[in-house]
Structure 1
């Protein structure tokens, strides 16, 4: 009968402990949500979602896809992110255990009967009742931290995918620039040999020879610079893929590469669901919001139940006699009375931390909209710029061919040829860079819309 009463008391305490819960209820902050993107399609299908497009489907280069897959497997930032997730999960498990009773045991043996401490073997139980919701708020805070940590992993995953792709495009751009420079150097060296022979024969002035010699040196000096850039990019890609820095395999050239740009451009509010960085900051805000309830509960009394059962005796030989058996159940309460406003200010501190997290969430959302707008504009403008630059290269090549023919027929000085050749060289390099930027802008648009992490 006595044990039944104890059980009823414990059950009643457990029920009551879940009946009250102080602290504010979470409300999602209002966000300014424009109906459409300024540079997006005005007839947007709001049900479309870029997260349904797997990252590997937007590239047509198996070598690049292989590098990205290797990065997903080996990248150390991703491995650290996974470790942080497991750490957050373990912290949540520890906090959940606080909701339930804890059980322990203790024992000691003393041979001297006159010793102050008796011999004993006792099992004990202690339980802090979550009457005001302190532990539940703490659990919710840690659960949201876990979710935020997982979203942070998705952010890193997106950065790894886009980082490898963009670095690869830049690497192929420098490969192309190196080919252009080597071809230009060969053309200038051939011209130098011809002009040098004509100078030695007295057909041209020394000025022509000096001018072409200068252009040969300029082309030669560009090659080491480009090779340094290639090495730096290869090392960058190696680090992203978790490998020892070294040569990186090549696939298609940038001219052969294609990146899908026909992504579903949903309304800006969809970024709240698509973008892992936006979702991460919202989970952090939720977590900070829950800590307000923890701080408020700390201002109120805490209730504890303790129980023990076991044997204790002055004489070791009588330790397990029936007369040595003991059991007891007790309850306690403890709470603050006056501490000069410390607990009140703790609530205010946590409230302001939550407010700061809310502003970070709102700022991240606005930044996401800005990044999409920039990416949409970049994709469109780089396409227009590439078309114009391509026409320039075609015209510059024709101008060089005509100037070269006019010079060898004696109609113009070699200065005109040099100017035409310099314009062609610069236009070819600019077109190569624009091809890379066009590819990179499409990847950045995919990333800005919230793709790449699934």
Structure 2
């Protein structure tokens, strides 16, 4: 009889994985397809992937590369993501344990021989067989959530790389704007000194003196504003790299910085493999889909095996005698009969949660395509705009030089000089900002295509 029980348990252990696993099988949803990106280069090799390009290879500034590496090591959002990843691994380990028997021990000693509970030293085994796949579905759901958590970590890593780079470009832009404004202030101050002397000597009207004095004040007022923006950016970058807010080391200027200007744009469907945010949403959809199977399994009976072995005796002194040994193996089944549709509604809820996850997946994919299209267009248009603005700066500088010479030779009023100077100042600031936007747009394209996390 003892051998029969053992053989029965072993048979069930072998047979239970082949039980009737209920629940739907995952089918990848259809996504809108396109052969090429609208603003992409149609002649590019669409079989290559941007993920093969490491982020450090697209910059030529050691200071910027050092900041990004420091951010990857110290950024607190990334540390939080890693902690969540370890938490997901632990949850998966807990769920896997449900597939196997649980063993416990217990012991009890009573001095009174007439007590209803005798002294005992027992070992117990309990096991709910996963006949309908409840635990297997749950494990698959948690496995997909683990993968989704890892993709979320990659999203944060990509954001760190791109945000530090773009913030650095903005910082160097403000540095350049400060230099332009300081130079403009010096030029206006020199002009003011000359005109003020000419006014005192009676050669020019007070209007000329007041006009240049106003322009000096405007330039002076811009300098504190730019310095505040520089400090705010330095503090933001400090937080990104996980350090106390402090001045940020500078490397090359934006005009000296070079960034890789061509990335393999592949085809839109490749974003499903390249973009960690898209992959994360698909894993979350898979997890939600598996939980439909969990809910369906709860509608069926559960099968349990329990076993106990050990010693029990009314007298403590006889606890470990041969006659005190006992063992038993038992099985049971429990299942719902009628609960007013609760289990059916649970399945319906999980189906709709899976539908919601599917729609989030599809929306994220479309958003990814839109971001790539925007980035491709930005790269092209900022290049054209920069070329035009550069011509504007050259022309504005020449206009200012000519107007200045005409004024000091008495041909025009100082109002013409002021207008030419304002145009030059605004053109120089616009060109500086466009240089930054050009660099930033390339980083955004690299990120949109799925690069930046490897």
Normalising by the smaller structure, the TM-score range is over 0.9
Structure 1: give runs of 5+ residues left out of the alignment.
none
C-alpha displacement of 1:6: 2.0
Partner of 1:203: 203
| Partner Cα separation in structure 2 for residue 403 and residue 169 of structure 1 | 34
Determine if contact 1:16/1:131 at 8 Å carries over to the other structure. no
Superimposed CA distance per residue, residues 47-89 of structure 1 (whole angstroms, 9 cap, x where no aligned partner): 2000000000000000000000000000000000000000000
Partner of 1:230: 230
| Partner Cα separation in structure 2 for residue 389 and residue 112 of structure 1 | 99
1:184-203 paired onto structure 2 within 5 Å = 184-203=184-203
Partner of 1:8: 7
For the residue of structure 2 that corresponds to 1:194, the secondary structure is helix
| Partner Cα separation in structure 2 for residue 182 and residue 290 of structure 1 | 63
Superimposed CA distance per residue, residues 388-439 of structure 1 (whole angstroms, 9 cap, x where no aligned partner): 0000000000000000000000000000000000000000000000000000
| Partner Cα separation in structure 1 for residue 284 and residue 381 of structure 2 | 37
| Partner Cα separation in structure 2 for residue 6 and residue 77 of structure 1 | 55
| Partner Cα separation in structure 1 for residue 16 and residue 43 of structure 2 | 54
Determine if contact 1:166/1:443 at 8 Å carries over to the other structure. yes
Partner of 1:292: 292
1:241-390 paired onto structure 2 within 5 Å = 241-390=241-390
C-alpha displacement of 1:33: 1.1
1:36-435 paired onto structure 2 within 5 Å = 36-435=36-435
For the residue of structure 2 that corresponds to 1:18, the secondary structure is helix
C-alpha displacement of 1:3: 3.5
C-alpha displacement of 1:385: 0.1
C-alpha displacement of 1:316: 0.5
Superimposed CA distance per residue, residues 144-177 of structure 1 (whole angstroms, 9 cap, x where no aligned partner): 0000000000000000000000000000000000
C-alpha displacement of 1:7: 2.5
| Partner Cα separation in structure 2 for residue 402 and residue 271 of structure 1 | 54
| Partner Cα separation in structure 2 for residue 299 and residue 18 of structure 1 | 19
| Partner Cα separation in structure 2 for residue 10 and residue 363 of structure 1 | 49
Moved over 3 A (4+): none
For the residue of structure 1 that corresponds to 2:303, the secondary structure is strand
| Partner Cα separation in structure 2 for residue 7 and residue 63 of structure 1 | 69
C-alpha displacement of 1:16: 3.1
| Partner Cα separation in structure 2 for residue 135 and residue 197 of structure 1 | 91
C-alpha displacement of 1:332: 0.7
C-alpha displacement of 1:17: 1.9
C-alpha displacement of 1:41: 1.3
For the residue of structure 1 that corresponds to 2:309, the secondary structure is strand
For the residue of structure 2 that corresponds to 1:264, the secondary structure is coil
Determine if contact 1:44/1:267 at 8 Å carries over to the other structure. no
C-alpha displacement of 1:259: 1.0
| Partner Cα separation in structure 2 for residue 48 and residue 421 of structure 1 | 49
| Partner Cα separation in structure 2 for residue 434 and residue 265 of structure 1 | 23
C-alpha displacement of 1:447: 0.1
For the residue of structure 1 that corresponds to 2:263, the secondary structure is coil
Determine if contact 1:208/1:414 at 8 Å carries over to the other structure. yes
Determine if contact 1:375/1:442 at 8 Å carries over to the other structure. yes
Superimposed CA distance per residue, residues 208-263 of structure 1 (whole angstroms, 9 cap, x where no aligned partner): 00000000000000000000000000000000000000100000000000111211
Determine if contact 1:17/1:132 at 8 Å carries over to the other structure. no
| Partner Cα separation in structure 2 for residue 11 and residue 126 of structure 1 | 14
| Partner Cα separation in structure 2 for residue 442 and residue 3 of structure 1 | 74
For the residue of structure 1 that corresponds to 2:123, the secondary structure is strand
Superimposed CA distance per residue, residues 311-338 of structure 1 (whole angstroms, 9 cap, x where no aligned partner): 0000001111111110000001001000
Partner of 2:441: 441
